[in-house]
Structure 1
Amino acid sequence: MNYKVYKILIVILIFMLITAGCSNISFGKVEIDELLILNAVGVDRSNDNNESAVAISAASKSINATSEETSNASAGQKGNSALLVSTGETVFEAIRKLSTFSEDRLFWGHVDYILIGEDAAKDNLPQYLDFFMRDHELRLNSKVLIVKDNTAKAVFQQTIEEENFIGDILENLFKSKGRMSISDELLLVEIMGMFDNTCISTYIPCIELINEPNNKIKLSGFALFKDTDLFGYITDGMARGFNWVRGKVDSGVIAVKDRNGQKISLEIIESKTKIKPVISDGRLDIKIKILFSTNITGVMGTKNIFEKDELDFLKTQQEEAVKNEVKKIIEFAQKNNMDIFGICNEVHHKKPVYWKSIKDNWSEIFPNLNITVEVDSNINRTYDIKQPVRSGYGVD
């Protein structure tokens, strides 16, 4: 046999030895029926005597968790979901302990939601998120939420008691977030990026437990952070004013009155926001321009409002309503020296040379920044009827 034939035989022999020797090695592979797929995880400060301890809650639609309980961890299930709870000195230690309370291996690759209890949010939040950014199995596009006035564990327990799955509830809430435009969804990677930018004050959407027959959880605006600690919350009109500036208003209701005092409701159909830095005589000004359209959805009266001068009046009223919402959140942000809007990024990207000269003094510049708001709108249509009910129009 020639040299080439010898080479082929040697390669075949080596391959046979490798495959024979590795027949019992799985290379980390786990069958799917041996996995407990987690969909949501919660992080809290532990209530134990150890003030530095971390409590972790994790929920899965699977029901393979055991019912064992110890002083450090527990697992339980009800309906179509499972809940595991554990504590540890660090997030990783608490998470590792969870694995001892499941028949199957915990799989973190499908975690869609990370819930942070209020006490943990007050205590240097990035330290609790570091593991979720660092671990290779977790996804950077998981959504982060702050639990207002409560713990993440309480949210999980509430949904377990109601025999609902927390992941399904949150998914449905976020599907309808645009109807009122007082919240938003933010990814883990986006939030950690805000914490890394010292010019921006971080904001994270929050949820709240409520006592209503058919609803136990609601989206409740945004949690605001100063440096790395929870500062406070903005809800309702303040939260929508914030979304106006961010250009994140999809829909919503604007309630105004016409010249006769009739209440008129208008549905926001579309909106667009532009933030423009302007430099004049070495001074920086910020111009915010908001464009939006509405449809008339309700007239609580009988007077005809569908004349040009009346519609122009309503147009002015809805523009003033939006401007007031925006001005309130801007005043709040400047009073507390919190650039939650990312105006520093707008200056950085649109006026890079000027930004280099002021970036080190942004915390002194932002509170005194001249920010003007311009609002322009249209009223498009009236849906299926034009005149108000019992207005007498069209009746002989």
Structure 2
Amino acid sequence: MMFKRWILLFLTILILTGCASKREINELALVMAVGLDKGKDGGVEITVQIARPADARGQTGAPSGNTGDPIWSASAEGKTIFEAIRNLGEFSTRRIFWAHNFIIVINEDLAKDGIQDILDFFTRNPELRMRTWVTVTPDKAKDIVSTMTGLEIIPGEALDKLFRYSSITSSAPKTELLEIQRAYLSQSTEPVIARIKLVDRGVSNKKEGQEGSYKQVKLSGAGVIKDSKLVGTLSAKETKGLLPFIEKVESGVTVLKCPSDDEKTITLETINETFSVKPSYKNKRPAFKVKMDVETNLVEAGCPFSLKKEHEVNELEKELEKELKGNIDDVIKKAQKEYKADFLELGKVFNNKFPAEWKQMKNHWEQEFVDAKITVDVNAEIKSSVLLYNPTKSGK
């Protein structure tokens, strides 16, 4: 009986999961952001932003042996991304660990050569999350990654929150690795990638006259991918016309001229937006009807304006409709005429409604998309002026 118990105990020990593959946190270099630039001789330069756990606690003084900086940035080159990462090990005292990475920043010159290798590497990496943000930039990616921000201790976390709250400005799409991979593998949709750049925006609180001396990261439209290569960009204004096609728009700001005075402005905030694309198929040609219904609040009036004056409200609503329709028309023109790339996901919409017809045209969708008739109808309504119904006037 005792012998059987020893055999059972021995077998139990064999099947128990051990700690042979454990990773101590003090032996890992936790990557917060990664930048990719063109290297020498057709290679790639990779820059990683690594958190210093001891220095990222908000301490005012540097502990013994540390610098006081919350991050450590390092660069290395290689013929491939993997080789460049391995070359980081030549001077990194810890193993590179990707599970906490917030964002991948790609220099536009590198993206113009193609992003297929980048997508392949990062989607194969079991440590990296598919919800990681992906962006392109006209600046050096290593400069974006190593830029310190004013509000967050870890710059990578600042970039993460910049995208999480980007719905306030609607000036760049929320592009994650998973969505880019999905569009890249699609038979119809071409990917768009958020665009960021460095601007002289920071203000020093310590030195007088230092305004603009600090670089800050700014959302700046989107990059258009076709055949795996960056073929062009969309401005922040054009991106406002793009966003309803690819994601839910929660908010937006539109500034218009006053009906009674062209030199003054009125600001409207979008509080509710309904957007739909209805495909049709006639005479063996696809067509699309785009409809947008928008409700807005009057949030700032630089001129006397009252919602009681129905004719002024109607005039302002027409101007708002014209502005919003113009944004959508501009991005459709860019997609059909300039880039000839369906980054508006119209092929996916058509496939969902007409799967049989899609099978006949999917192999030449680019030409069908370029020739497709797309009509846009926008209906805008000004609901209220928040708490003020009448214009603010001096009592003197």
**TM-score normalised by L of structure 1:** 0.86
Q: Classify the secondary structure of the residue corresponding to 1:344.
A: helix
- What displacement does 1:140 show? 1.4
| Equivalent-residue separation in structure 2 for 1:390 and 1:281 (angstroms) | 59
Runs of 4+ residues deviating >4 angstroms: 13-16, 160-164
Mean Cα deviation higher: 196-205 or 87-96? 196-205
State the one-letter code of the partner of 1:39. Answer: M
Deviation at 1:339, TM superposition (A): 0.7
Q: Deviations for 1:243-288, whole angstroms, at most 9, x for unmatched residues? A: 1333533222212234423522111112121111012343321011
- How far the C-alpha of 1:354 sits from its partner, in A, is 1.4
Q: Deviations over 1:11-51 (max 9, x none)?
A: 334556x59xx99x8421022232221111111111x3xx2
Provide the rounded CA distance (Å) in 2 between the counterparts of 1:77 and 1:95.
Answer: 24
Is it true that 1:273 corresponds to 2:272 in the alignment? no
Are the equivalent residues in 2 in contact too, given 1:81–1:160 (CA < 8 A)?
no
Offset at residue 335 of structure 1 (A): 0.3
Letter in 2 for 1:347: F
Determine which of 36, 43, 46 is the counterpart of 1:56.
Answer: 46
Identity %: 29
C-alpha deviation, 1:139, in angstroms:
1.5
Report whether the alignment pairs 1:85 with 2:75: yes
Tell me, which stretches of 5 or more residues in structure 1 are unaligned? 66-75
Task: Indicate the RMSD between aligned Cα atoms, in angstroms.
Answer: 2.8
Counterpart position of 2:59 = none
Corresponding pairs, count: 372
| Structure-2 residue corresponding to 1:71 | none
Contact 2:224 2:234 in 1 (8 A): yes
* Alpha carbons 2:286, 2:368 under 8 Å: kept: no
Task: Identify the residue that residue 60 of structure 2 maps to in structure 1.
Answer: none
> Does the CA-based 8 Å contact 2:172-2:194 persist in structure 1?
yes
For 2:148, the equivalent position in structure 1 comes to 159
Question: Which amino acid in structure 1 is aligned with residue 255 of structure 2?
Answer: A
* Distance of 2:351 and 2:251 partners within structure 1: 30
SS in structure 2 of the partner of residue 356 of structure 1: helix
Q: Distance in 1 between matches of 2:365 and 2:7?
A: 68
| 1:144 paired to 2:134 | yes
Aligned with 1:43 (options 36, 40, 43)? 36
Q: 1:161 to 1:185 in 2, by over 3 A?
A: closer
SS in 2 for 1:120: helix
Structure 1 residue identity aligned to 2:193? I
Q: What displacement does 1:56 show?
A: 0.9
Distance change (3 Å), C-alpha of 1:192 and 1:303? closer
- Listed as ranges, the gaps of 5+ residues in structure 2 are 56-65, 204-214
- Structure 1 contact 77–160 (Cα < 8 Å) conserved: no
SS in 2 for 1:158: coil
Deviation at residue 6 of structure 1 after TM alignment: 5.0
In structure 1, the residue corresponding to 2:42 is in which secondary structure? Answer: coil
Question: Distance in 1 between the 2:303 and 2:297 partners?
Answer: 17
CA contact (8 A) 1:273 1:289 kept: yes
- Which string of whole-angstrom CA distances, capped at 9 and with x for unpartnered residues, describes residues 133-167 of structure 1? 112122211111111x2221121233389996321
Map 1:201-212; keep pairs closer than 5 Å: 201-212=190-201
Distance 1:355 1:107 in 2: 43
Inter-CA distance 117–288: structure 2 relative to 1 (3 Å threshold): same
- Which is higher, the Rg of structure 1 or of structure 2? 1
| Counterpart secondary structure, 2:202 | coil
SS in 2 for 1:210: strand
Q: Does residue 105 of structure 1 match 2:108? A: no
Please say if residues 78 and 163 of structure 1, whose CA atoms lie closer than 8 Å, have aligned partners that are also in contact: no
SS at match of 1:289: strand
Alignment of 1:338 onto 2:350? no
Residue number in structure 2 paired with 1:34: 27
Aligned to 1:181: 170
CA distance in 2, matches of 1:63, 1:152: 23
Deviation at 1:240, TM superposition (A): 0.5
SS in 2 for 1:172: helix
* Per-residue CA distance 1:319-362 (angstroms, 9 max, x = gap): 11100111111111110211110100001111111111211221
Q: Which secondary structure state, in structure 2, belongs to the residue aligned with residue 378 of structure 1?
A: strand
Cα distance between partner residues in 1 of 2:150 and 2:360: 57
Return the letter of the residue paired with 2:368. I
Superposed CA deviations along residues 350-382 of structure 1, whole A, max 9, x for unmatched, are 111111121122111111110001111221111
